[in-house]
Amino acid sequence: MNKFKINIQGMTCTGCEEHVAVVLENVGAKNIEASFRRGEAVFELPDNIGVESAKKAIDKAKYQPGEIEEIQSEEKMVLGDEGDYDLLIIGSGGAAFSAAIKSVEYGAKVAMIERGTVGGTCVNIGCVPSKTLLRAGEINHLAKVNPFIGLQTSAGEVKLAPLVKQKDELVSELRKQKYVNLIDEYGFDLIDGEAKFVDVNTVEVNGKKLSAKRFLIATGASPSLPPISGLEEVDYLTSTTLLELKKVPKRLTVIGSGYIGMELGQLFHNLGSEVTLMQRSERLLKEYDPEISEAIEKALIEQGINLVKGATFERVEQEGQIKKVHVTVDGKEKVVESEQLLVATGRRPNTDTLNLSAAGVEVGNRKEILINDYARTSNEKIYAAGDVTLGPQFVYVAAYEGGIVSDNAIGGLNKKLDLSVVPGVTFTNPSIATVGLTEEQAKEQGYEVKTSVLPLDAVPRAIVNRETTGVFKLVADANTLKVLGVHIVSENAGEVIYAATLAVKFGLTVEDLKESLAPYLTMAEGLKLAALTFDKDVSKLSCCAG
């Protein structure tokens, strides 16, 4: 049998899927999966039937067949007959656990090797500790400053040590529930130690050699240091060590204002530090739509966070406890001093100690592991997933990729990674959430683009909250009005973006958004209002976008 995927235009419902399946069955196809949402059908044909006959039959049934791709079938693995393991995973974060659980469900014998703390970045030093402290920071900020008249609130000095202890307890509880306990629950081995390859089939850990039929590298990434003179000689902090501080610093400088720098900078501003965010680029979040950068910049400045953009970093030095960052901005020299300095300029893949050349695994110019559409590396027995590949650095992406690895490496399913629609959230306040294409990306991809930009002061939820700095931006294909991208700066933007993700993923149009009811006085109503903004002045609408 040969396996094919064919793109098909014109299927609009599950009835069409069934019709296409019958048509393909009639030419002799087996294991047919037609999807009107993805606009494709995947099926197998016996060797003696040409794929052109399938194409003709689809055409005759009044659908429009397009590109055909032959899918290389991988044999489903014979489990457990040789080697120490069916799947040996290096790392124990989101990618690793998702792959391990699914592989055990396939019946595979699995082991995981971890050199640090089980659970990896997200639960221990990333998502969980940062988000719980961000919430504490928000509450402290609201106690000090709120937009309502007549409320009498106040905030005392923040005692960081007990707050950090409470955070550590939560981390430890979630690590136990969501990671450690699952090891016995599912029944795989955890090996404590650092792994490195010794050849294409073998990994060494604690001096012991282990073989496996397949491997998954899920070793994540670590904070990277920018090449700034003197930086290595000062007591700088990373996202990990900042979250362990026991005292709120009087002043905090943050080098790098990507999502981690911005979140942690705002956290310490809310806890009482005077915060300066510094970056090389002239624009915050320069890869986002300009309206997003403008809105978040305005919000941060309104809150009293200092921004230094377009900085050339000359050197860093320390005098006593004070760290001094020397920069040139617009040709003028400037020195920013603070008690603590956070470096948040990106993350580098953890590949240095893996001895990848012994395994024939190729890396890119940032030492990230190169994978193909099936998450396979240049060694066909070795897969990689999560941050170590330098794809979108989110735990749900890592977990999704880990699941695909299991389907392909153990299940033999040849599933392609689909990262065409990945939502991203920055948990500042207001938060930033985006999905799909920016206006510039859509134009680069050849779309004729129509956009709508709705300032947050047109969204009723923001008006009643009395926090109106922000924006909703929709990017649509001007011809089909399909929603290509949604970009938001607002309170709870992260909660709104899931609906937008469904709209982009399943090809909803601006009309679909306009015609769907949106609950009044939710931030998500902004999506509908932004859709209406394409051809109406929303300031002239009555309540409920009627």
Residues that bind ligand FAD (CB under 6 A): 90-96, 113-116, 120-122, 126-127, 130-131, 194-195, 218-220, 239, 260, 350, 353-354, 386-388, 393-396, 398
> Is 131 annotated as a binding-site member?
yes
Tell me which of 77, 112, 122, 278 is the catalytic residue: 122
Hey, is 130 helix, strand or coil? helix
Tell me which of 288, 374, 396, 544 is the catalytic residue: 544
Residue 11 is among the residues annotated as catalytic for this protein: yes
Residue 263 or 439: the one with the smaller Cβ distance to ligand FAD is: 263
Token pair listed for 48:
């003696």
CB of 239 to ligand FAD, least distance (A): 4
CB of 391 to ligand FAD, least distance (A): 9
The rounded distance, in Å, linking the Cα atoms of 155 and 145 is 9
Token pair listed for 158:
């923040």
Alpha helices, H only, 305-364: 356-359
Tell me which of 77, 106, 112, 127 is the catalytic residue: 127
* CA distance readout (Å), 528 to 437, 464, 514, 519, 532: 18, 18, 6, 10, 6
Q: Is 23 exposed, middle or buried (0-12, 13-18, 19+ CB in 10 A)?
A: buried
Tell me which DSSP letter residue 184 carries: H
Residue 127 is among the residues annotated as catalytic for this protein: yes
> Is 159 annotated as a binding-site member?
no
Residue 179 is among the residues annotated as catalytic for this protein: no
Q: H or E element: which one contains 183?
A: helix 181-186
The rounded distance, in Å, linking the Cα atoms of 389 and 393 is 9
CB of 221 to ligand FAD, least distance (A): 6
CB of 532 to ligand FAD, least distance (A): 31
Cα–Cα nearest to 217, from 415, 405, 423: 405
Backbone angles phi, psi at 355, to 5 degrees: 55, 55
Residue 113 or 278: the one with the smaller Cβ distance to ligand FAD is: 113
Residue 279 or 350: the one with the smaller Cβ distance to ligand FAD is: 350
Token pair listed for 456:
């947050």
Residue 543 is among the residues annotated as catalytic for this protein: yes
Residue 96 or 481: the one with the smaller Cβ distance to ligand FAD is: 96
> Is 119 annotated as a binding-site member?
no
| Total H helices, total E strands in the chain | 17, 25
Half-sphere exposure of 274 (CA within 13 A, CB side): 6
> Is 260 annotated as a binding-site member?
yes
Residue 63 is among the residues annotated as catalytic for this protein: yes
Residue 23 or 395: the one with the smaller Cβ distance to ligand FAD is: 395
CB of 95 to ligand FAD, least distance (A): 3
Residue 328 or 353: the one with the smaller Cβ distance to ligand FAD is: 353
The 10 Å Cβ neighbour count of residue 461 is 21
Residue 321 or 353: the one with the smaller Cβ distance to ligand FAD is: 353
Hey, is 475 helix, strand or coil? strand
CB of 414 to ligand FAD, least distance (A): 22
> Is 494 annotated as a binding-site member?
no
> Is 262 annotated as a binding-site member?
yes
Residue 7 or 355: the one with the smaller Cβ distance to ligand FAD is: 355
CB-based contact 325:255 (threshold 8 Å): yes
> Is 387 annotated as a binding-site member?
yes
Residue 291 or 387: the one with the smaller Cβ distance to ligand FAD is: 387
CB-based contact 34:20 (threshold 8 Å): yes
> Is 112 annotated as a binding-site member?
no
**Cis peptide upstream of residue 147 (ω within 30 degrees of 0):** no
> Is 324 annotated as a binding-site member?
no
Beta-carbon contacts of residue 16 (< 8 Å; ≥ 6 apart)? 10, 34, 36, 63
Residues making up the chain, counted from first to last: 546
398: Cα separation from own chain's centroid: 8
CB of 100 to ligand FAD, least distance (A): 11
CB-based contact 356:197 (threshold 8 Å): yes
> Is 470 annotated as a binding-site member?
no
CB-based contact 422:505 (threshold 8 Å): no
Beta-carbon contacts of residue 490 (< 8 Å; ≥ 6 apart)? 430, 431, 456, 459, 462, 470, 471, 472, 496, 523, 526
Tell me which of 16, 77, 278, 523 is the catalytic residue: 16
Hey, is 490 helix, strand or coil? strand
CB of 101 to ligand FAD, least distance (A): 13
> Is 369 annotated as a binding-site member?
no
CB-based contact 221:93 (threshold 8 Å): no
Token pair listed for 94:
């989101």
CB of 519 to ligand FAD, least distance (A): 26
Residue 77 is among the residues annotated as catalytic for this protein: no
Active-site amino acid positions: 11, 13, 16, 63, 122, 127, 543-544
User: Which residue ranges are tagged as binding site for NAD(+)?
Assistant: 256-263
Binding residues for FAD: 131, 346, 387
Where is the binding site, in residues? Answer: 131, 256-263, 346, 387
